[in-house]
Structure 1
Amino acid sequence: MQIRGQEILLPTSAVSAFPRPHWLQGRVLGSLAEPVYRSHNLRVAYEDASKICAREQELAGLDVLCDGAQYYEWEAPGFQLEPIFHFIPENLGGFAPYGPPGDGVKYAPFYKATVTGPVEWKRPVFEAVVNAMKGATDKPFKVAFLGPAQQSIICDDQHYGDGVAFAKDLARAMNAELRYLQSMGCEAVQLIDVLAPYTQDMWQIECQEIMFEGIDMLKFWHVCYGSVDGQRDVFEAKTREMIPLFEASPVDVVHLESTSAEFGDLTAYKDFPTDKVLGLGVVDAKNYMVDPVDVIADRIRRRLEVVPPERLLVAPDCGLGYFSRTTAYAKLRNMGEAVEIVRAEL
């Protein structure tokens, strides 16, 4: 995999989130009607937290860092999904942020953003995140966000009456955002999406094509199976069914959970498209025990039986944002050590 023009064997990256320091609490960034930062003190605390998060990833030897989502409220048990659901809608035109409750027991505590008019990009959404990471590291990093297909199905549409049309307008707004981040020098982005295991309709890829038009950044797609305090939404990997989506997607890297027992079948990845990099989790984010280095190294070796080292990205499964900092970073450092062991064997 090429990173900054250099071919990296067994490149490494994390997913998108890490636990925040205990002294950073509450919402950091404002909505469309507020300043970018809710206070100067919060800005300083957030940027300091980003430096810690970046440093831990550097110590683990990661090749592409993630922003760590240090601006999200991870410390509110049971309500961690609230900022993920609302952050983008609250920063785009065409939304009222709080509508009816979510669907089902798990999502009932979270209010849906209501679509009241045409979705429009009004101002930068992730500018503060890019600035914080540029101040925290010299290494390449990716900014992660909920994809338009996923975002479209968790909103209360009172304007479009057509879910696909709504999702495509979301994609156009995010394209404007990505073009802005690209102009800032951002090198990589990652969309987060839990929709693909449920439906393999190709309109999802049409949204990706709209969103990534004119974007030259390294593009990741994290297919999320859900993770709140170790509780997932998806219990069937549906890897084979998703292969046509992966083939048609304009992204460079597709990342999936692959460590916990329900998702350990690696044979399906033999049909993964050869023009893309496959990111597979080798650290269990549903287990609070720290994975030993030799266990992680063996997981990497087994994945190399189905994916060559030039097309395998090594990563954790998603969900480390809900762990303690001690455990999350210990898992990450063990992963980095295991990668070095396997690289030496190649």
Structure 2
Amino acid sequence: MTAKLLPTTVVGSYPQPDWLVDRQMLSKGVARVRLDLWRVAEPFLEQAQEDATLLAIRDMERAGIDVITDGEVRRESYSNRFATALEGISAGQPGEVISKAGLATAVPRVVGPIRRTHAVEVRDMEFLRRNTERLAKITLPGPFTMSRQAVNEYYKDDDEMVMDFAAAVNAEARDLEQAGADVIQLDEPWLRQDPTAAKRIAVKAIDRALEGLKAATVVHLCFGYAAIVKGEKPVGYSFLSELGACCADQISIEAAQPKLDLGVLADLAPKKIMLGVIDLADPDAETPAIVANRIRAGLEYLPPERLVPAPDCGMKYLSRELAFAKLKALADGAAIVRSELG
């Protein structure tokens, strides 16, 4: 991906401006179906999203981030834009799932075979490529996670549904690579929610989703957005070491807020690790020194060639001012450690 030691990156999302989205609606949860959170009328929405995307790109560049995204500015959530664009997903009444906390969430209904019939994020990637000379990453919801955020009303075998999601992701990923993506990332936070099913099908599905790609590939795991998931987070993943067998080049893990035991990194050799060193629950920006210490902790288990410093998760629920300050600390903290390595 790059010869630079400790290249910094973002997980995916960056704060959307208040003039673009209704942040009060956004704060109620992570959208699984389309909610129409936009404040800008349809005739002007695309132009407004492009303007906001440029703000996100320039902020990441100004902060000194090495591998940037488009901030996922055109998405209501990391997953719903792609998932609801697939054939086989009902455009009518959504389904409902009950979380472990007992909360009902509206989700897509799978009513036919899952197919990707048209590009969804390719124009986003083309816009990003036109507007930065830095390494560019784009993210897609992972097949296992999409299958767990839907009500299956068609497939007799859930694993068959997962694999059809994976084929749809792969078709999109191949086009994203052609559009100029240097890095393609799958967001798979639900791997830890159902480790039994994940152990049965997740690695096979991830490998199918990333099949044939030449771009660098990443699988991202987290414990949920700090703004949405309140309280203490687990200090370990119920599904992590198994990802050492998947074909992804990098594994992205949340480590700063949960104070993850970094000894688990030994199980993921020889993968590169996107290590979360920015705590998104902290209302203050880290100092570069704090970030440097967290990177040094990772280097106790990994050589610098295998460590990619990053925030714990997407930053969309932060204020833009705080997100920028945290990214600046990330870049400056990595520079401190890089200078120590010579």
Q: TM-score range by the shorter chain?
A: 0.7 to 0.9
Q: 1:201 aligns with which of 199, 202, 208?
A: 199
Q: Deviations over 1:232-285 (max 9, x none)?
A: 699434448521x2211111111101112x3331222233212x2011111111
**Matched residues in 1 for 2:102 and 2:54: separation?**
32
**Matched residues in 2 for 1:141 and 1:249: separation?**
23
Aligned match of 1:212 = 210
Compare 264-273 and 138-147 and name the one that shifted more: 264-273
List structure 1 runs of 4+ shifted beyond 3 angstroms: 37-40, 105-110, 232-235, 237-241
Aligned match of 1:191 = 186
1:148 aligns with 2:143: yes
Aligned match of 1:270 = 266
Say if 2:226 and 2:281, in contact at 8 Å, map to a contact too. no
Aligned match of 2:327 = 332
Aligned match of 1:132 = 127
1:88 aligns with 2:82: yes
Aligned match of 1:15 = 11
* Alpha-carbon distance change, 38 to 237 in structure 1, aligned in 2, over 3 angstroms: farther
Deviation at 1:38?
7.8
Query: How many positions carry a matched residue from both structures?
Result: 323
**Matched residues in 2 for 1:160 and 1:148: separation?**
15
Aligned match of 1:163 = 158
1:223 aligns with 2:221: yes
Compare 263-272 and 313-322 and name the one that shifted more: 263-272
Aligned match of 2:37 = none
State, as a whole percentage, how many aligned pairs show the same letter.
28
Say if 1:95 and 1:113, in contact at 8 Å, map to a contact too. yes
1:300 aligns with 2:295: yes
3-state SS of paired residue (1:227): coil
Aligned match of 1:256 = 253
* Alpha-carbon distance change, 63 to 311 in structure 1, aligned in 2, over 3 angstroms: same
**Matched residues in 2 for 1:13 and 1:149: separation?**
24
One-letter code aligned to 2:71: G
3-state SS of paired residue (2:274): strand
**Matched residues in 2 for 1:89 and 1:253: separation?**
23
Which runs of 5 or more structure 2 residues have no equivalent in the other structure?
A: 27-32, 35-39
Task: Map residues 163-182 of structure 1 onto 2, 5 A cutoff.
Answer: 163-182=158-177
Deviation at 1:70?
0.5
Deviation at 1:107?
7.9
What is the TM-score normalised by the length of structure 2? 0.87
Say if 2:192 and 2:238, in contact at 8 Å, map to a contact too. no
Deviation at 1:144?
1.1
Q: Deviations over 1:141-186 (max 9, x none)?
A: 1111210001101211110021110010011111111122222222
Deviation at 1:219?
0.6
Say if 1:227 and 1:233, in contact at 8 Å, map to a contact too. no
One-letter code aligned to 2:127: A
Q: 2:49 aligns with which of 46, 49, 54?
A: 46
Deviation at 1:338?
0.9
One-letter code aligned to 1:204: A
Say if 1:121 and 1:173, in contact at 8 Å, map to a contact too. yes
Which runs of 5 or more structure 1 residues have no equivalent in the other structure?
A: 32-36, 74-82
Q: Deviations over 1:188-218 (max 9, x none)?
A: 2111112222304141011111111111111
3-state SS of paired residue (1:170): helix
